[in-house]
Amino acid sequence: MWTQVSQSLHESMARVISRLATLLPGFLAFIAAVLFFAVIAWLLSRLVRALLGAIRIDERLARGTNAIAEWSPSYTPTTLITRIVFWFVVLMGLLVGLEAVGASSDNLLSTRLLGYIPNVLGAVVLLTLGNVIARFLSRSVLIGAVNMNLHYARLLSLGTKWLVLVLTAAMVLDHLAIGGAVVDLAFGILFGGIVLALALAVGLGSRDLVSRSLEREAARPAPETLPEEQFRHF
């Protein structure tokens, strides 16, 4: 019996080594493709940066409203475009490399993994956009609420940020086909719960405040001039 166990182990090892040997050229091709395309990406990004600098794209876009700069102020349009070009070419290299790995393997798992890559890329884009939007909106709400003299400005800002991030996370998981109906249900409960909690907090929590405020308003004689109208800013 031990002979047969030993024989089975030797055979399985041989199969695994044989499969690795089959995949090895593919992996080497993958590394070579990624390195090659990374070099091309670097050269292309330098060329694009020089071209965009020559046509002064940053100055042209800075005239009037510049949506790119408003949503992502720390990156100039030249930097953003250059990075998009760079990572697009690197991505092409990754796809070429993965095709090389897939061609050297007839494994069903490899094929399904390759087919999953676009979903991952889409999810990364969604996550990035979601973060940018969450940061912009939360800051807009914070500044707007402070200027409206709302004392719960920070709470509103955090709530906005987390609502957008939760929505983004749900979209990312849905795009990655992770969790399925469980994620949809959990998101629905969480999102709905947050909105309901906020509505109850504002509605029920301010009930006494509103009635006290109305009583004070009714008892106070109307001023001839509102305090803020004494100051004319323009």
Partner 1 sequence: MAKLELAEETKAGMEEVGTADLLIAVAVQVDDDQLRAAATQAVLSLGAAGQPGEPSLSALRTVVAFPGLSGGDTAPKAEVQDEQAATSNALRFLPYALAAGSPERIPWLAPSSTYQAVFAMARELGVSACAVIGFDLGALQSDFLAPMLAPVFDKRCELAMPFYAMGKFDGLLNSSILAPLTRALYGRRVRFPLAPDFCISGKMLPELEVALQRSTGQGQTLFWPATEAALRGCETCQVHVDTRHVPAADGVDLSTVLAQTVGPLFAEMATNAPLWQRIRGSQAVETSGVAVAPPADGAAADIRPMLETFQLGFRNLQEVWSLVLPPVTLLELKRLARLGADSFHMPDELWVRIIYDFALAYRLRTLSRIHLLGALTPLYLGWVASYAVEVGGASLTEAEQRVEKLARAYEEGKPYLLSRWRWPDRFNP
Applying CB under 8 A, the residues found at the interface with partner 1 are: 62-65, 69-71, 73-74, 136, 139-140, 142-147, 149, 151, 153-154, 157, 224-225, 227-234
Quick one: 3 or 149, whose CB is closer to partner 1?
149
Structure tokens at 225: 């001039």
The C-alpha angle with vertex 108 and arms to 171 and 177, in degrees rounded to 5, equals 10
d(CA 92, CA 115): 15
- Cβ-proximal residues to 106 (8 Å cutoff; 6+ apart), any chain: none
CB-nearer residue toward partner 1: 70 or 208: 70
Least Å distance, CB 210 to partner 1, is 20
DSSP string, 84-119: HHHHHHHHHHHHHHHHHHHHT---HHHHHHHHHHHH
Q: Residue 121 Cβ, how far from partner 1 at the closest point, in Å?
A: 28
Q: How far is the CB of 126 from partner 1 (least distance, A)?
A: 22
Looking at residue 150, the DSSP 8-state letter turns out to be -
- Residue 33: CB atoms within 10 Å: 20
How far is residue 98 from each of residues 18, 21, 30, 114, 195, measured CA to CA in Å? 20, 17, 6, 7, 44
By beta-carbon proximity to partner 1, the closer residue of 70 and 106 is 70
- C-beta closer to partner 1: residue 94 or 142: 142
Q: Tell the smallest beta-carbon distance from residue 129 to partner 1 (Å).
A: 16
Query: Judged by CB, which is closer to partner 1: 27, or 136?
Result: 136
**Complex with partner 1: residue 106 or 224, whichever CB lies closer:** 224
The token pair that represents 133 in the structure block: 């939007």
